Amino acid sequence: MKEFTNRVAVITGGASGLGRAMAWRFAREGMKIVLADIEQTTLDATLKEFQDSGHEAIAVQCDVSRAADVEALAEQTLAAFGAVHVVCNNAGVAPGGLVWEHTVKDWEWAMGPNVWGVIHGVRVFTPILLKQNTEGHIVNTASVAGLLSLPGMALYCVTKHAVVTLTECLHHDLVEHSDKVRCSVLCPAYVPTRIAESERNRPAHLRDDRPKSEQDLRREEGLRHAVESGRISADQVADAVFDAIRDERFYILTHQRIKPAIETRMQDILLERLPTNTLKR
């Protein structure tokens, strides 16, 4: 995509963290912004910042795991701005734990925003982008957890692997059907955001009454620490996303030092050996 001024960007999970940083990056290019998020108070505060800075923006409260909410998001975007050019399916949550200890509610909660949110975003927005017949780009936020298999992170890894392959398949389908619409998959490692506090947005009906074990609490503390000590900022990730859209790059790997771990996993598969715990290397 080469033209950004007055084009329209929709960003899910846009109230906080990576989504918010992407929205600012796009706004600085003169784009009109649609912030979508489940968290109303943060959404209102973020929208106010954009409007106070003179940017054209709207906010849509939306649970991306719900088909009807994402359909309404597209309708409100078109009603406000008449078109959509960049769609970032970015909203997500990051639960951790041992794979056999997760409850059905844990799985349903994580699959909601992380997988269904991306499915709905692609399902609803791609036909609109194709029909417009103008340049467009979809960015799906996965994670390096979509390229690795890590201990204590099965739920997260399963959902993020799904996003990687969904986006790779989307790329193939787009190339066969359009020369104007493209996509990218964003795979960062740790970036300081509020992702370690994902439980804050867990819907009441998917909350778990299971008391947290010592091990759960230690794991949560470990995640919080890892996220806080991430050396690449949300703004740097947003720059990488913008560059990838402009330069038509598919894989957005923001943390170069993680690449040997990805290579090790690929080698494990090709050499048919036991999976390496790349966290221990």
Cβ proximity to ligand NAD: between 118 and 135 the closer is: 118
Cβ 178 vs Cβ 134: under 8 Å? no
Q: Does 94 bind ligand NAD (CB under 6 A)?
A: yes
Q: Does 16 bind ligand NAD (CB under 6 A)?
A: yes
The question of whether 156 is a catalytic residue gets the answer yes
Binding test (CB under 6 A) with ligand NAD, winner from 7, 10, 11, 19: 19
Query: Between residue 220 and residue 249, which ones bind ligand NAD under the rule CB under 6 A?
Result: 227, 230
Query: Between residue 159 and residue 188, which ones bind ligand NAD under the rule CB under 6 A?
Result: 188
Binding test (CB under 6 A) with ligand NAD, winner from 9, 13, 158, 252: 13
Both structure tokens of 125: 């927005």
C-alpha dihedral (65, 209, 218, 95), degrees to nearest 10: -10
* One character per residue 22-61, x = contact with ligand NAD (rule: CB under 6 A): ---------------xxx--x-------------------
Distance CA 157, CA 58 (A): 32
Among the listed residues 109, 156, 190, 242, the single catalytic one is 156
Number of residues that bind ligand NAD (CB under 6 A): 34
Residues near 165 by beta carbon (within 8 Å), at least 6 away in sequence: none
CA 255 to chain centre: 16
Residues in the chain: 281
Distance CA 108, CA 204 (A): 12
Cβ 203 vs Cβ 63: under 8 Å? yes
Q: How far is the CB of 51 from ligand NAD (least distance, A)?
A: 18
Both structure tokens of 251: 């894989």
Cβ proximity to ligand NAD: between 46 and 135 the closer is: 46
At CA 144, angle to CA 174 and CA 182, rounded to 5? 15
Quote the strand ranges of the chain, DSSP E. Answer: 8-12, 32-37, 57-61, 86-89, 136-141, 181-186, 251-252
Cβ proximity to ligand NAD: between 126 and 141 the closer is: 141
Q: Does 64 bind ligand NAD (CB under 6 A)?
A: yes
Binding test (CB under 6 A) with ligand NAD, winner from 17, 95, 97, 136: 17
Q: How far is the CB of 65 from ligand NAD (least distance, A)?
A: 5
Q: Contact residues for ligand NAD (CB under 6 A)?
A: 12-13, 15-19, 37-39, 42, 62-65, 90-94, 112-113, 141, 143, 188, 190-191, 193-195, 198, 201, 227, 230
Query: Which residues are identified as catalytic?
Result: 156
